């Protein structure tokens, strides 16, 4: 956790250890890995679940917004994977489960260029590592959740908004996207327990699926994406926000 002092639940369990970890900080990655190996002796599975979301017109993004989005969602998993690889190689195997999003396979929401970029990159990274690490008996898995009933994603989204620059041309689209996010019913979201169960099944090798798309909304969207020419798909999504 970035701020272990804020934990009020996990620390109660004797079989759980909490370490300070900001995945963008190489020193903290190194220290957390050393702490985990020291506590448990052997690590079998690593879940890369740190993630943040920046939305809004690319033109309105600050340099810090752009770098932060990539640093957490893409470079963060790279830092953790690189840090754990010597341990996995020494053990003769292991598994990385990368938490992506079905936005890493689709572009289903306007004004998500930075977020989608980071998740598309994570998809490519994970697929390429599959070939690289398979000879070392190190497995790669991807899970693709969307909205969650237990996660306040909407209020945690950071909207690109340079205070010194206002471009009214983007206002109408931003309002529609924000409204759709805020009004999404629970019926299109996934309960956290379901996601945990899927991760558990992958970690225990009850499933060997490389990519698991979670929830009806994501699966329906991927079906539509694969059944249409890209031009038609993009126009169809665009029409939903006009």
196-199 contacts: CB < 8 A, separation 24 or more? 198/143, 199/47, 199/97, 199/143
133: Cβ–Cβ under 8 A, 6 or more apart, which residues?
A: 85, 139, 140
What backbone torsions phi and psi does residue 143 show, to the nearest 5 degrees?
Answer: -120, 145
Closest CA relative to residue 41, chosen from 7, 90, 78: 90
DSSP string, 172-192: HHHHHHHHHHHT--GGGSB-H
* Whether 76 contacts 21, CB under 8 Å: no
Element (DSSP H or E) covering residue 65: helix 63-70
Q: Which of 55, 102, 115, 233 is catalytic?
A: 115
The two three-digit tokens of residue 106, written as one number: 């689709």
* Whole-number Å distance between alpha carbons of 217 and 195: 14
What backbone torsions phi and psi does residue 57 show, to the nearest 5 degrees?
Answer: -60, 135
Expressed in percent and rounded to 5, the helix, strand and coil fractions of the chain are 55, 10, 35
| 115 assigned to active site | yes
What backbone torsions phi and psi does residue 203 show, to the nearest 5 degrees?
Answer: -65, -35
Residues with catalytic roles: 115
């Amino acid at each position: 956790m970035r701020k272990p002092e804020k934990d009020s639940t996990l620390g109660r369990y004797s079989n759980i250890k909490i370490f300070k970890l900001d995945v963008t900080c190489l020193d903290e990655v190194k220290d957390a890995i050393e702490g985990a190996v020291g506590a448990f002796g052997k690590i079998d599975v690593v879940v890369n679940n740190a993630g943040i979301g920046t939305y809004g017109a690319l033109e309105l993004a600050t340099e810090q917004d752009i770098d932060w989005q990539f640093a957490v969602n893409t470079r963060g998993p790279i830092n953790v994977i690189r840090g754990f690889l010597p341990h996995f190689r020494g053990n003769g195997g292991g598994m990385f489960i990368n938490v992506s999003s079905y936005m890493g396979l689709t572009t289903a929401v306007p004004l998500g260029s930075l977020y989608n970029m980071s998740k598309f990159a994570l998809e490519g990274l994970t697929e390429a590592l599959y070939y690289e690490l398979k000879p070392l008996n190190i497995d790669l898995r991807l899970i693709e959740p969307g909205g969650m009933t237990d996660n306040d994603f909407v209020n945690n989204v950071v909207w690109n908004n340079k205070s010194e620059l206002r471009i009214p041309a983007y206002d109408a689209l931003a309002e529609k996207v924000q409204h759709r996010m805020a009004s999404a019913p629970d019926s299109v979201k996934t309960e956290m327990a379901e996601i945990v169960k899927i991760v558990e099944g992958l970690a225990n090798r009850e499933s060997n699926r490389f990519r698991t798309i979670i929830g009806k909304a994501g699966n329906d969207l991927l079906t539509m994406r694969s059944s249409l020419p890209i031009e038609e798909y993009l126009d169809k999504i665009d029409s939903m926000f006009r």
